[in-house]
Structure 1
Amino acid sequence: MIELAISAFVTLFVIIDPVGLAPMYGALTRDHGEAARRRMAIRGVAVGGLVLLGFAVGGEALLGAIGVSLDAFRVAGGVLLFVVAFDMVFERRTERRRRQVEAAHAADIGAGAAAMLAAESAFAAPEIMDDALTHEHEDVSVFPLAIPLIAGPGAITSTLLLTTRAGGDWLALALVLGILALVLALTLGALLIAGRLNRLLGETAAAVISRVLGILLAALAAQFILDGAAALVLDVIHRGGA
């Protein structure tokens, strides 16, 4: 049980990456007020958590419905996690997240500018002016914060793999879900102090932490692949013997 708890915490913490997500969130909300940043952080973590919880509870049934075995998913999930780890070690994931943040921010500015131009008309209706003020600072809690920055493919895969490891043990499943809630709470805390965390760590320290966590994730991904491949080989041998 302790081994599962440690594995779940390391995997989810590395994949969701609260330390690396905080500066991205700070850049995404740099034009928002403190109250708006806090509100969007809470909503984003809540939505991302619900998505991950849905896959944790119903993901195995979904795999069964489409005819994919858990062992095959372990191999595929391990490969995906290894790719994520590779990106982390060579800082490709950071660059990709930065592009997502910049794209969302550019869309935010474009929507706000279009609405403000429409409202500048002398004959603009009051509801148009209200729409302009609403779009001046777009809500980014669902996209891109909740999806894909928090509940991305790697986090969904990790959550499903960890819950399948728990098997039918409800205590183990509750432990995994508790670890998920803990990581999400840490993520929320990091988002709420994103500005101070950026100043405290600096870009160099954040890059070092990301690389170290990437190496740990690569090892966990390799273990997922080995476990799934071994089970598939044993299943093939068993069927051949039968």
Structure 2
Amino acid sequence: MFNFKDIFSVTLILFSVIDILGSIPIVINLRKKEGDIHSGKATLISGILMIAFLFLGQSILKLFGLDVGSFAVAGAIIMFILAMEMILGITLFRDDSEGGAAGSIVPLAFPLIAGAGTLTTILSLRAVYETPNILTGIVFNLIFVYVVLKSTSWLEKKLGKSGFSILRRVFGIILLAIAVKIFKDHILI
């Protein structure tokens, strides 16, 4: 049932796809706009999305008449907009709700943590690994995501204003490239 080698493999695969460390500038930027990021709520919602997709992913997409490619392109468009904000220092994504909790859901929980890449990867992992091993890998990643989200203030202090500005633009370009790649890979199918 539980295989530590498989759990380790799933954990590393999801870790590289989620890339929460690469999302730190985005998280810091969202926290500046929203005032507060609800780390626990974002982690919980991301976990629910990942686990739901593990069991119901194909069915959910079919229910809405969607394929994985369409889902990936939608996530890529949101990532593209976030990248443009980071690079140009402008605000395109504006939350009209009060209290700032929505910033923990969109775009933090989806598409940054549990985005199209993560959810598509989870669907692919089902073909190779047993469900308990995938669930364990998801939980390990969620714990790490929570710790990183909770420590963004500390990281921002260590980076300083100019360090954050440089990092935000660099990761903005990387995020833009990832969005274009996802878009290109799925729009041409």
- The TM-score by the shorter chain falls in which range? 0.5 to 0.7
Mapped to 1, the partners of 2:50 and 2:127 lie a distance apart of 19
Whole-Å separation in 2 of the counterparts to 1:219 and 1:23:
19
1:121-173 C-alpha deviation (Å, 9 max, x unpaired) = xxxxxxxxxxxxxxxxxxx7xx2353225313454333223334446222699
Once the two structures are overlaid, the 10-residue window that deviates more, 211-220 or 70-79, is 70-79
| Unaligned stretches of 5+ residues in structure 1 | 30-36, 109-139, 233-242
Greater Cα shift, 206-215 or 187-196: 187-196
**Would you say 1:12 and 2:10 are equivalent positions?**
no
Partner of 1:86: 84
One-letter identity of the residue aligned with 1:67 = G
1:222 aligns with 2:183: no
RMSD: 4.2
1:56: how far off? 4.5
Per the TM alignment, residue 203 of structure 1 is displaced from its structure 2 partner at its CA by 2.5
Determine the structure 2 residue equivalent to 1:50: 48
The CA distance in 1 between the partners of 2:14 and 2:127, in whole Å, is 17
Alignment of 1:195-234 (within 5 A): 195-230=153-188, 232=189
State the 1:201 CA deviation.
1.4
Mapped partners of 2:176, 2:63: distance in 1: 30
> What residue identity is the alignment partner of 1:157?
A
Structure 1 residues 48 and 7, CA gap change in structure 2 (3 angstroms)? closer
Aligned to 1:192: 150
1:176-195 deviation digits (Å, cap 9, x = unpaired): 9736842x434322343344
Partner SS, residue 169 of structure 1: coil
- Please say if residues 163 and 173 of structure 1, whose CA atoms lie closer than 8 Å, have aligned partners that are also in contact: no
Secondary structure of the residue aligned to 2:66 is coil
Q: TM-score, normalised by structure 2?
A: 0.64
Q: Which amino acid aligns with 2:170?
A: V
Larger Rg: 1
Partner of 2:3: none
The alpha-carbon distance between structure 1 residues 81 and 19, as it changes in their structure 2 partners (threshold 3 A), is: closer
Q: Is the 8 A contact 1:9 1:180 kept in 2?
A: no
For this pair of structures, how many residues does the alignment match?
181
In the alignment, which residue of structure 2 is the partner of 1:152?
Answer: 110
Report the alpha carbon displacement of residue 63 of structure 1 after superposing the two structures with TM. 0.9
- Structure with greater helix percent: 1
Percent identity over paired residues: 20
**In structure 1, C-alpha distance between the alignment counterparts of 2:148 and 2:62, rounded to whole Å:** 36
Provide the TM-score with structure 1 as the length reference: 0.53
Equivalence for 1:68: 66
